[in-house]
Amino acid sequence: MTLCELRLGRNGGWKQIGIPGQIRSEFEWKTIMDQREPNLIHSGLSQTVTKDGVTVEVSIVRLENETSWSLEVVNSSGTSIVWDDLFPSDEDAFAEFQRTVADEGIRTFLDGRKVIPFRR
């Protein structure tokens, strides 16, 4: 039996963890297999927001071993808008969402002509 040499990475892609023959022992293989991906921490500020007839899902998350928070807004069509920058706190992330809605309106999260859908 051949041991698997690839591992699913955080971004969903495969990454090589060894060239065939490089894993020298069962202990080394077990050590590699025991490494786990960090848990995802969801902020209590994550919520569904409805304004002016538009509903979006606000998701504020971080990895358990990180301190910075990520902000994602998903509209009713399933389109995900993720901020490139991370935030020092979940409160800062939610404040950015609120600023965006105040400055641009909640309709800014609706699909426009610039959205390129994935093939299904």
Q: Which residues pair with 1 in a beta bridge?
A: none
pLDDT tens digits, one per residue of 91-104: 999 999 999 999 99
How many CA atoms lie less than 13 Å away from 81 in the CB half-sphere? 20
pLDDT at 109 over 70: yes
pLDDT tens digits, one per residue of 18-75: 545 555 566 665 666 667 788 999 999 999 999 999 999 999 999 999 999 999 999 9
- Which 3 state secondary structure label does DSSP give 99? helix
Tell which phi-psi region holds residue 78, choosing left (phi > 0), alpha (psi between -120 and 50) or beta.
left
Which stretches of 26-71 are DSSP H helices? 26-34
Q: Which residues pair with 107 in a beta bridge?
A: none
Instruction: Tell me the average pLDDT across 73-78.
Output: 93
**pTM for the model:** 0.66
pLDDT-derived band of residue 4, with 50, 70 and 90 as boundaries? Answer: very low
Residue 73 phi/psi, 5° resolution? Answer: -125, 130
What CA–CA distance (Å, rounded) separates 67 from 120? 35
Tokens of 106: 């909640």
